[in-house]
Amino acid sequence: MAKNIQAIRGMHDVLPSQTPHWQYLEACVRDVLGRYGYQEIRMPIVESTELFKRSIGEVTDIVEKEMYTFEDRNGDSLTLRPEGTAGCVRAALEHGLLHNQTQRLWYQGPMFRHERPQKGRYRQFHQIGVEAFGMAGPDIDAELILITARLWKELGIDGLELQLNSLGTAEERAAYRQELVAYFERHHDALDEDSRRRLHSNPLRILDTKNPDMAELVAGAPVLADHLGEDSRQHFGQLQALLTAAGVNFVLNPRLVRGLDYYSLTVFEWVTDRLGAQGTVCAGGRYDGLVAQLGGRSTPAVGFAMGVERLIALLEEDGRLPEAARADVYLVQMGEAARREALVLAERLRDALPQLRLLAHCGEGGFKAQFKRADRSGARIALVLGEGELARGEIGIKHLRDELPQEAVAVDRLAGRLAEIFDKS
């Protein structure tokens, strides 16, 4: 016998018992973002590889080691999207959404990175992303952070810590980069293999190392904040003042750099200690240079993305997620004529009672087997339609969860009787 084909490592099925959790989170996000005036955009999951090389940076871990890249039949290099911002910018430019106008956009869907699977980190993972274009001030940075804070409140997620930093401008980072490289070169022997590889290509990422043996070395490194100009300091200070006025607590983390090359000025992360090593549930920042980098006019931009699987893990831990919706009514039938009538009757009931969750039995099975299925469905009511009921123009109502006698109701009164039963619940 052939071996069953399994899902690809790091890519998971979302089962029927789990999909209500996803729907609950997505509905909350859609509601909150709509109240802030953000519009949904949907992009393809496959893009030109060049898009990510130009946006994320060719010397990042994502581009060098993690992307799913392949040639199509035309010989073009394509990549399954590892993140959503680059595709959102590409779409906005392609369709003229950024010409002399501001935009508040959001999207959701799967992303792909070939990483080592572990708790909270998968090779196919899902993100909800939010991007705002055309606004340069710290007020829009603050709005995005306030959106995330409101989401945690609406979802009932507690214990997240907001970390803030400023990366300054590209010119300020360049000056800082030289000093940082010089510092790490003086301590070259103390660097691990990964840090040595990044030293001249992406030295800021060394600050984000998870290697505890390098913690003391990183703690002694130069601080980017000391290299910020007056405009960058003012932007960061105003952001902090806005968040403080709105009652949002935060901590400053001078080592927070984010893993993508396109960030500038504000960067932030919401982190937790409840998910092991993968503690970031939402992260983002400002990327004012990316639109021009991808061929558009210079446009200020800021955004964030949150990991759906990680948020659901927190909600599950807190017991805040709904159970799968159960049936209200299970329609049992016996006999050829009753079987034909059952499907027609079920459609009439769905027309009359749009909110009713009705399961009509299909296939073979006697009354005993059908009642077992009715019980497993979670339905409160079983409707019983046999040859006798059909001849009398009636249908039986059997209460599966309540100690009530079975009753017979005329078919033309059935919708009204069910409305009465479920109105009382």
C-alpha 132/C-alpha 143 separation (Å) is: 10
> Averaged over 251-280, what is the pLDDT?
82
| Other CB atoms within 10 Å distance of the CB of residue 345 | 22
pLDDT digits over 385-407, tens only? 999 999 999 999 999 999 999 99
> Averaged over 292-300, what is the pLDDT?
93
* pLDDT over threshold 80, residue 61: no
With contact defined as beta carbons under 8 Å apart, do 160 and 281 qualify? Answer: yes
Pairing of strands 39-40, 103-112: parallel
C-alpha 76/C-alpha 49 separation (Å) is: 9
Under the banding of pLDDT at 50, 70 and 90, the label for residue 328 is very high
Tokens 């006019």 belong to which residue?
Answer: 297
With contact defined as beta carbons under 8 Å apart, do 92 and 133 qualify? Answer: yes
Question: Can you give the pLDDT at residue 414?
Answer: 95
Question: Can you give the pLDDT at residue 352?
Answer: 95
Residue that wins the pLDDT comparison between 206 and 26: 26
Question: Can you give the pLDDT at residue 260?
Answer: 60
* pLDDT over threshold 90, residue 279: no
Using alpha carbons only, what angle is made at residue 55 by residues 207 and 181, rounded to the nearest 5 degrees?
30
Cβ neighbours for 343, distance < 8 A, ≥ 6 positions apart? 360
* pLDDT over threshold 70, residue 259: no
For the four alpha carbons of 314, 317, 322 and 323, in that order, the dihedral sign comes to positive
Its CATH architecture, for the domain 19-168+228-318, is: 2-Layer Sandwich (3.30)
Cβ neighbours for 344, distance < 8 A, ≥ 6 positions apart? none
Question: Can you give the pLDDT at residue 59?
Answer: 64
How far lies 236's CA from each of 137, 157, 249, 250, 284, in Å? 10, 27, 15, 13, 15
* pLDDT over threshold 90, residue 207: no
pLDDT digits over 45-59, tens only? 999 999 999 888 766
With contact defined as beta carbons under 8 Å apart, do 307 and 318 qualify? Answer: no
How far lies 345's CA from each of 331, 333, 349, 352, in Å? 9, 11, 6, 11
Helix H or strand E encompassing 68: strand 68-71
Highest mean pLDDT among 64-68, 258-262, 349-353: 349-353
C-alpha 189/C-alpha 215 separation (Å) is: 14
Question: Can you give the pLDDT at residue 35?
Answer: 97
* pLDDT over threshold 80, residue 1: no
With contact defined as beta carbons under 8 Å apart, do 57 and 202 qualify? Answer: yes
| Residue-wise DSSP of 335-378 | SHHHHHHHHHHHHHHHHH-TT--EEE--S---HHHHHHHHHHTT
Question: Can you give the pLDDT at residue 223?
Answer: 86
With contact defined as beta carbons under 8 Å apart, do 305 and 129 qualify? Answer: yes
C-alpha 223/C-alpha 230 separation (Å) is: 16
Cα Rg, the chain, nearest whole Å: 28
Highest mean pLDDT among 10-14, 53-57, 197-201: 10-14
Is it true that 19-168+228-318 and 329-423 share their CATH fold?
no
Q: Which of 239, 259, 260 is nearest to 248 (CA)?
A: 239
Per the prediction, the chain carries an average pLDDT of 91
> Averaged over 120-145, what is the pLDDT?
95
Under the banding of pLDDT at 50, 70 and 90, the label for residue 120 is low
Q: What length does the chain have?
A: 425
pLDDT digits over 147-198, tens only? 999 999 999 998 899 999 999 988 888 888 888 888 988 988 888 888 888 8
Residue 393 zone, left/alpha/beta (φ > 0; ψ -120 to 50; rest): left
With contact defined as beta carbons under 8 Å apart, do 120 and 310 qualify? Answer: yes
* pLDDT over threshold 90, residue 312: yes
C-alpha 152/C-alpha 170 separation (Å) is: 32
* pLDDT over threshold 50, residue 425: no
With contact defined as beta carbons under 8 Å apart, do 26 and 74 qualify? Answer: no
Its CATH architecture, for the domain 329-423, is: 3-Layer(aba) Sandwich (3.40)
Under the banding of pLDDT at 50, 70 and 90, the label for residue 277 is low
Under the banding of pLDDT at 50, 70 and 90, the label for residue 321 is confident
| Other CB atoms within 10 Å distance of the CB of residue 220 | 9
Question: Can you give the pLDDT at residue 287?
Answer: 93
Domain limits, the chain: 19-168+228-318, 329-423
% pLDDT > 70, the chain: 97
For the four alpha carbons of 106, 107, 108 and 114, in that order, the dihedral sign comes to negative
